[in-house]
Amino acid sequence: MLFLFVAALLSTAALAQHSAQETQEDVKRHRAMAVAHEGAAKCLEAGKGEKVCMQELAVACKGLALGKYCGMRHAH
């Protein structure tokens, strides 16, 4: 019985792994999100205000991540 459980876990882990192409697509998405977040940080540093900067972030992240904060939740 334990053998069946371990076999099921291992087969599930194998299915969850990405192909090389999927990994490269993930890398590109992460880099694009990083650029968008850096732009939002620079916008805030420039004093444009949170509302304006979050609108710009939403435009920059369209299609990249879920949610209005481009995949990043803030503690505040």
Give the pLDDT of residue 66: 79
Average pLDDT, integer, range 8-37 = 81
Determine which helix (DSSP H) or strand (DSSP E) holds 32, and give its type and residue range.
helix 20-45
Give the pLDDT of residue 69: 77
Which position has the higher pLDDT, 6 or 39? 39
Q: Which of 3-12, 33-42, 67-76 has the lowest mean pLDDT?
A: 3-12
pLDDT tens per residue, range 24-71: 999 999 999 999 999 999 999 999 999 999 999 999 998 888 777 787
| CB-count burial class (<10 Å; 0-12, 13-18, 19+) for 66 | exposed
> By C-alpha distance, which of 31, 32, 29, 56 is closest to 42?
56
